[in-house]
Amino acid sequence: MEADPTATADRLLFALKTRGPAATAALAAQLTITGEAARQQLQKLQAAGLVESRLQPQAGAGRPRSDWALTATGHARFPDTHAQLTVQLLSTVREVFGEEGLDRLITTREQAALTVYLQACDGIEALEPRLRRLAALRDAEGYMARVEPDGRDWLLIEDHCPICAAATSCLGFCRSELEVFREVTGPRGALQREEHLIAGARRCVYRITPVETPALSKRRNTSK
């Protein structure tokens, strides 16, 4: 049975969204399809304006390499939830209630999200499963979130932002989410944002460095 070309095209778009620019051969390997099948679908996506070929800096002798990447239209296939309406509402709140009113709106949203996340993480003390629970919640909300190890640290990666338009219109949303993540992480880890979609990155990435709490240190000392 031949593979559904529409499904293959969607998988290619998803791979580029979640993993970033890649060569035809790498994409074919990820999707376990032939290089020719990948090339044909990529050319169709290029004709539709969803992907583009980008020359990569040449390292040493040889031909420069081209990678495929999503265009702005391609990124738009992963929707920003009610983007236009959200921006209009934020503008109205700012006009009617001023910056103070907008801050109160963001704070209320922050507290609501924090309550849900903390309840979901209740009883989970270890850092890794706590982060994975947070990532699962964010993924369900449309952020394409996951957790990956990086040495002794952990990375909370969000490949998509369903409120990107709102966050661009009001950076308070990004500040608020950063504080929520730190509250959920608590004293178990030090959390810093390393990549920021609003600042031009293709995704948001948060690095969490484990921190040994006094209680854990005491337990280890008494067990020796």
Instruction: Give the tens place of pLDDT for each residue, 7-65.
Output: 889 999 999 988 888 999 999 999 999 999 999 999 999 999 999 998 876 655 666 67
**In this structure, are 186 and 127 located in the same domain?**
yes
pTM value?
0.71
Top pLDDT among 112 and 82 is at: 112
In whole angstroms, how far apart are CA 116 and each of 10, 39, 112, 134, 212? 32, 44, 7, 10, 26
> Which structural domain range is residue 131 located in?
83-221
Place of tokens 């907008």: 102
Structural domain tally of the chain? Answer: 2
Residues 123 and 46 in one domain: no
Are 90 and 68 in a shared domain?
no
